[in-house]
């Protein structure tokens, strides 16, 4: 008996070794074929668990210095380097050719990894959580809802902005605009998606709408931690998260059930043109033309809500964060907006406001402090990145299956070789055509390739319209926060200290 076990163990060991040798030979052949050379590996105590870097990351996240630390690593180790963190192999890069390869050229070689496991309990299987054919289907359902006529419904924004304005004190007392912008974008996004706004800017305490807002925030705030736990997430029970998901689902399901009961949804496109019934465009109503599956409807609605709400709030908050500190920029913007003589702008007028366009391109939320400052994709097979290998970083790099190729838009958007010596300065004029700045893949606030943000025009229109209406309402603003910008990094990046200002009435 003992002999048999012994022989079996030896056989297994031989098989294991043989498979290791074969995969080593295959890997070496693959690397040779593609001319791969080793990338820089950052110094680590060991590269099996990578606990040292994991610990540093946890510390810098607590001290709100994650982004600064990432920048330091790129400054120290170059534009492509690898590390092992919490048992996961990362290749980090800010090479535009590498990012283009991952997001576009070799799009099919990469996926989102365990995002669906981590986010699924809240978001189900929708555009933001799925890969492959399932994602393609989601994208084909969601994308048609973002044409010009649909995002140009400025009357909807106007109603919510007026509520926001009533919340801003006119007696010189301090207000945190960031809190108000998060309410504004929740209200406008729910109006656009569900056809009824949760009206957080005016809702009464204890209402179902208020509860939905609170529970959606709670559930969403847990997603970043759940992502870090990845496949081990089921080991950590989180009762609050489970309850929040239930409340959110019930709220949305009620709205969907009511919509499903209406046999013949209104054609919203006609109504925007003024040729149909005077109802506003509603995402849910449009989706009903393509599917009547309640679970899919809920998943897509929540996916788009999550993708669109905090992001647009951050764009507004960060833009006002800088306006409060730069009266020179406020005055230039005001001069441009005053040419409208107090008239509400329409979609085309907004697009003609050049300085506002440069200001938004340069908004900290899009360039220096991008809303999504880091992102990544998992290799589905052994594959190759075109740059980062060898001592000069100009050779291809081997990417083993399962590796997370991570890229930092925060660092990339500060590259001096792209943006010039003043890359770290806030200067809207750099976007004027005569300056010739064409960053291409080095400017990715909305991502690129087939998964590029579907809500880009929606966000830019809502932000531009809100800024115009605020500048028309107020003569100026005073900064009431003497501190420097502080990192507020969860699923998206916001200002850790909010945007504390006093608005000066006209």
Q: Which residue is nearest to ligand HEM (CB)?
A: 455
- Cβ proximity to ligand HEM: between 299 and 396 the closer is 299
% helix / strand / coil in the chain, to the nearest 5?
55, 10, 30
207: tokens are 């209402």
CA distances from 353 to 13, 334, 347 (A): 70, 11, 11
Which residue, 307 or 356, has its beta carbon nearer to ligand HEM? 307
Shortest approach of ligand HEM to residue 26 CB, angstroms?
31
The least distance separating ligand HEM from the CB of residue 504, rounded to whole angstroms, comes to: 27
C-beta of 47 vs 137, nearer to ligand HEM: 137
Using the minimum distance from each CB to ligand HEM, give the nearer residue, 139 or 325: 139
| Token pair in block for residue 424 | 């770290």
CB of 426 to ligand HEM, least distance (A): 17
Give the shortest CB-8-to-ligand HEM separation in angstroms.
47
Q: List phi, psi (to 5°) of 458.
A: -60, -50
Judge whether 245 is annotated as a binding position: no
Q: What is the DSSP string of 266-328?
A: --HHHHHHTSS-SPPP-HHHHHTTT---HHHHHHHHHHHHHHHHHHHHHHHHHHHHHHHH-HH
Q: How far is the CB of 475 from ligand HEM (least distance, A)?
A: 27
Q: Are strands 40-41 and 80-85 parallel, antiparallel or unpaired?
A: parallel
Angle at CA 144, nearest 5°, toward 139 and 147? 130
Shortest distance, position 306 Cβ to ligand HEM, whole Å: 8
Measured from the CB atom, the residue of 388 and 455 that comes closer to ligand HEM is 455
Q: How far is the CB of 194 from ligand HEM (least distance, A)?
A: 12
- What is the 8-class DSSP label of residue 343? P
CA distance 358 to 213: 33
Q: In the sheet where 88-93 sits, what is the strand order?
A: 40-41, 80-85, 88-93, 404-408, 374-379, 110-111
| Closer Cβ to ligand HEM, 308 or 389, answer by number | 308
- Applying CB under 6 A, which residues contact ligand HEM? 127-128, 139, 142, 303-304, 307-308, 311-312, 315, 365, 371-372, 375, 445-447, 451, 453-455, 458-459
Distance CA 26, CA 23 (A): 5
Q: Rounded to 5 degrees, what are φ and ψ at 22? A: -60, -45
Which CB, 50 or 308, lies closer to ligand HEM?
A: 308
Residues making up the annotated binding site for heme are: 453
Binding residues: 453
């Amino acid at each position: 008996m003992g002999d048999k076990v012994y022989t079996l163990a030896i056989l297994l060991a031989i098989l294991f070794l043989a498979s290791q040798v074969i995969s080593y030979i295959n890997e070496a052949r693959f690397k040779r074929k593609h001319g791969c050379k080793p990338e820089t590996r950052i110094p680590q105590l060991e590269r099996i668990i990578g606990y040292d870097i994991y610990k540093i990351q946890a510390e810098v996240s607590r001290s709100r210095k994650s982004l600064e630390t990432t920048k330091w690593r790129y400054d120290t180790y170059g534009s492509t380097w690898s590390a092992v963190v919490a048992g996961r192999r990362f290749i980090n890069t800010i090479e535009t050719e590498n990012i283009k390869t991952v997001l576009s050229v070799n799009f099919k070689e990469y996926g989102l990894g365990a995002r669906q496991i981590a986010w699924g309990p809240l978001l189900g299987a929708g555009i933001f959580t799925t890969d492959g054919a399932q994602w393609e289907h989601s994208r084909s359902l969601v994308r048609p809802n973002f044409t010009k006529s649909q995002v140009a419904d400025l009357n909807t924004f106007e109603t919510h902005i007026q509520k926001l304005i009533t919340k801003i004190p006119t007696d010189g007392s301090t207000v945190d605009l960031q809190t108000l912008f998060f309410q504004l974008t929740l209200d406008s996004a729910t109006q656009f998606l569900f056809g009824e706004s949760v009206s957080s800017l005016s809702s009464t305490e204890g209402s179902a709408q208020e509860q939905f807002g609170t529970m959606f925030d709670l559930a969403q705030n847990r997603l970043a931690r759940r992502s870090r736990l990845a496949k081990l997430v089921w080991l950590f029970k989180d009762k609050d998260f489970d309850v929040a998901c239930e409340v959110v689902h019930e709220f949305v399901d009620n709205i969907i059930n009511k919509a499903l009961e209406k046999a013949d949804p209104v054609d919203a496109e006609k109504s925007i043109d003024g040729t149909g019934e005077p109802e506003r465009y509603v995402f849910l109503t449009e989706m009903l033309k393509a599917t009547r599956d309640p679970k899919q409807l809920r998943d897509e609605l929540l996916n788009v809500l999550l993708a669109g709400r905090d992001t647009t709030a951050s764009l507004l908050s960060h833009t006002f964060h800088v306006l409060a500190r730069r009266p020179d920029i406020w005055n230039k913007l005001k001069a441009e907006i005053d040419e409208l003589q107090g008239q509400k702008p329409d979609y085309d007028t907004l697009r003609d406001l050049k300085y506002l366009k440069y200001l938004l391109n340069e908004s900290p939320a899009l360039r220096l402090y991008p809303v999504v400052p880091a992102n990544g994709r998992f290799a589905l097979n052994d594959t190759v990145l075109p740059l980062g290998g060898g001592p000069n970083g100009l050779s291809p790099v081997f990417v083993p299956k399962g590796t997370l190729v991570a890229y930092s838009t925060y660092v990339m958007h500060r590259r001096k070789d792209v943006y010039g010596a003043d890359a770290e300065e806030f200067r809207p004029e750099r976007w004027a055509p005569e300056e010739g700045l064409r960053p291409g893949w080095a400017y990715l606030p909305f991502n690129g390739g087939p998964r590029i943000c579907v809500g880009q025009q929606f966000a830019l229109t809502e932000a531009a319209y809100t800024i115009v209406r605020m500048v028309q309402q107020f003569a100026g603003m005073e900064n009431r926060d003497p501190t420097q910008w502080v990192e507020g990094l969860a699923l998206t990046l916001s200002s850790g200290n909010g945007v504390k200002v006093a608005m000066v009435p006209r």
